[in-house]
Structure 1
Amino acid sequence: VFSRIISFTQEGAYAARGVIIFSNSYPEITQQIITKLGRGVSQIQTTGAFSKEQGQAIYCVVSPSELTSLKRIVEAVDKHAFVSILTVNEAIGEGFTYAQPQRSFFKRRF
């Protein structure tokens, strides 16, 4: 518990999950993620080291609250998909960062 508190203090409260999905049903999974979660998806060209088969992997970054929905989408489309879930320390870009209004202590009068 103490180590988790220290990590939280050092790393901050930011939380996101990077998900890599390996499935032959990648087109349908991709479409479902885009339409149901409204998240962007990247497709990565893959080659199996043992099988030498070409394929596609899906990479998506979601908030922890969206993770269950994402896993349900994948399971509904392909029960045999391989899913790797990673902790993301920081995600910068549309959907994860928003421009904060600049506030000044002193208001300018023109």
Structure 2
Amino acid sequence: ILNVPLFALGWMHVGRRFFLYSIAGMLIYSGALAWIHISVPIHDKILSAILAGIIMGTGSGIILRSLGSAGGLDILSVILLKRFSIRLGTTMLALNSLILGAGAVLFSLEGALYTLIYIYVNSYMVNLVVMGLSQRKAILIISSQWEKIAQEIMDKVHRGVTIIRGQGGYSGQERRIIYTVTALQELPRVKLLIRDIDPDGFVVVSDTLEVMGTHIGNQPHW
């Protein structure tokens, strides 16, 4: 019953497909919990919390990358991602921590800390599965060989580039700045390519929070 308003919010703020996939995800998840009983005798509580977080976070991440959810806080997390670009795992960590804090009086301090470990690992794995495996890097390149570097990136890495007009603050000389976005696994190739053409080229590599686009985007299209 508590899921009903959340599913309604999912329909309104995310879309019909997300709503239907989330219903399917919730039913499959509930059925798996009811029918699959696997007991793994792990007596170390910290290790149990870590393994549970890895397994649950990976599962939740796969469902979310498949454009659905398992219901509950997953729906709120997707809504906040779409509205405010807050990472899914970060939202889950914050919301679950608030719930844990509100109910901490019902648990021992030790139990609450074990649960906090699980929540953190779970949220980390969600971010890793949903975003980390498709992380994008933004690259700024300043070089006298900008034309050759830009052409090599397009020909060998198969990524588009944008040429920005700039001016050196000290020298006053006009420069061309190359801006491009690549997948994480393509970054070593780009760096090697730049080093081969211009060892003195100035390169800035930064993480991206969110990239939208048909060819290089890293966001599931909810």
TM-score by length of 2: 0.40
Deviation at 1:93, TM superposition (A): 1.1
Structure 2 Cα separation of the partners of residues 8 and 79 of structure 1 = 39
Deviation at 1:69, TM superposition (A): 0.2
Match of 1:10?
A: 90
User: What SS class does the counterpart of residue 177 from structure 2 fall into?
Assistant: strand
Runs of at least 5 residues in structure 2 that lack an aligned partner in the other structure: 1-86, 92-126
From 76, 80, 84, the equivalent of 2:200 is 80
* Aligned ranges 1:1-110 → 2 under 5 Å: 9-10=89-90, 12-13=127-128, 14=131, 15-97=135-217
The answer to whether the 8 Å contact 2:181/2:216 transfers is no
Structure 1 Cα separation of the partners of residues 149 and 90 of structure 2 = 35
Structure 2 Cα separation of the partners of residues 79 and 8 of structure 1 = 39
1:50-84 CA distance string (max 9 Å, x none):
11100101001011100000001100100000000
- Cα distance, 1:76–1:101 mapped onto 2, change above 3 Å: closer
Q: Could you say which structure has the larger radius of gyration?
A: 2
Q: Comparing both chains, which one has the higher relative contact order based on Cα–Cα distances under 8 Å and sequence gaps of 6 or more? A: 1
Match of 1:4?
A: none
Runs of at least 5 residues in structure 1 that lack an aligned partner in the other structure: 1-6, 103-110
> RMSD of aligned C-alpha atoms?
2.4
Alignment length (residue pairs): 95
Deviation at 1:8, TM superposition (A): 8.2
Q: Which has the higher strand share?
A: 1
> Runs ≥4 in structure 1, deviation > 3 angstroms?
none
Structure 2 Cα separation of the partners of residues 73 and 32 of structure 1 = 8
